[in-house]
Structure 1
Amino acid sequence: MADQREDEVCKGAHCAWHIHYHIVFPVNCRKALLDEGVIAMIQDTAAEIAARFPIEMEVIGTGTNHIHLLCSAHPKIALGWIVQIFKRLTVREIFRRKPAVKRVLWGGEFLTDGYNVATVGARANWQTV
């Protein structure tokens, strides 16, 4: 994961930004499926996503039934696209490396369709994240 400073302002050709997205993805039916092995897969996949796409993965945290992602991207990158890429590639990798997880889930969906997002920036409280 990237080691981005709290007060760092990123700059592009025509804009400057200080946006960090705190996204929460619940596991389908709130099942407690996030063990150490699955968490390691999620972290590995997030690092691969950061290497392939213009998304800066800063921190990943988990409970037993949800994933917290703190990431940053240029303002031209749509939040929905970030969510789509993270969910699609992460779930595909989990099912590929640990197929037994898919059999436990209703309909074979690992994450719910929904997610929760909040922005963290210059005026937000970093301690709450």
Structure 2
Amino acid sequence: MSEFIHKSHNVTVLIYHLVLPAKYRRAVVDAGVDRVITLTCTEIEKRYEIKFLEIGSDENHIHFLVQSVPMYSITKLVTIIKSLTAREVFKKCPHVKKQLWGGEFWSDGYFSSTVGKHGDETMLRKYVKSQGNNYEQLHSDHQLAIF
């Protein structure tokens, strides 16, 4: 379960859904790789301000539900997770390195999405409108309709 992270001048609850595909979308994720990734992620939690709320796997990609602090950008989170888990997978599961022709474990790309603790975008818009007495909407981003 996510928690509020208290720092000296801020309180945050930043949760991200990350999907990291294996290189070439190869089906290299098995029970051994799952175990290594899970153990590596618990070690990452001890050294970085990253908390893994959930880790799920498919045969060619891994889902991470991660909580972190604002000083870690999405790119930095992904870099930390990819580099440390790949190194450990190659070290403890050498058969995976052979399947990937001795190359990289993770694909260059990834999917990232923020996850709200207290609701979705619509709920947050209602909350903002309900604050104060004279709410005035100053900006709204709507996609333009062509034709």
If the length of structure 2 is used for normalisation, what is the TM-score?
A: 0.76
Structure having the higher Rg: 2
Q: Which runs of 5+ in 1 are unaligned?
A: none
Partner SS state of residue 29, structure 2:
coil
1:124 aligned residue (113, 120, 124): 120
Aligned to 2:109: 114
Partners of 2:94 and 2:4 in 1: CA distance: 41
Equivalence for 2:98? 103
Shift of 1:37: 0.7
Contiguous gaps of at least 5 residues in structure 2: 122-147
Pick the aligned partner of 1:83 from 56, 63, 78: 78
Please give the alpha-carbon distance, in whole angstroms, between the structure 1 residues aligned to 2:40 and 2:30.
Answer: 15
Contact 2:18–2:64 at 8 Å: present in 1 too? yes
1:57 is displaced (CA, Å) by 1.2
**Aligned residue-pair number:** 120
Report the counterpart of residue 26 of structure 2 in structure 1.
Answer: 31
| Corresponding letter in the other structure for 1:123 | G
Aligned-pair identity (%): 40
Distance 2:73 2:54 in 1: 19
Q: Per-residue deviation at 1:18?
A: 2.1
Matched residue, 2:14 = 19
Instruction: Report if aligned partners of 2:28, 2:99 keep a CA contact under 8 Å in 1.
Output: no
CA RMSD of aligned residues (A): 1.6
Q: Aligned runs of 1:58-73 on 2, under 5 Å?
A: 58-73=53-68
Output the CA distance in 1 between the equivalents of 2:67 and 2:114. Answer: 10
2:14 and 2:68 in contact (8 A); partners too = yes
Is the partner of 2:9 in helix, strand or coil? coil
* 1:107 to partner: Cα distance: 5.7
Alpha-carbon distance in 2 for matches of 1:45, 1:107: 21
CA–CA distance in 1 between the matches of 2:32 and 2:102?
A: 22
| Secondary structure at the counterpart of residue 64 of structure 1 | coil
Compute the TM-score of the two structures, normalised by the length of structure 1.
Answer: 0.86
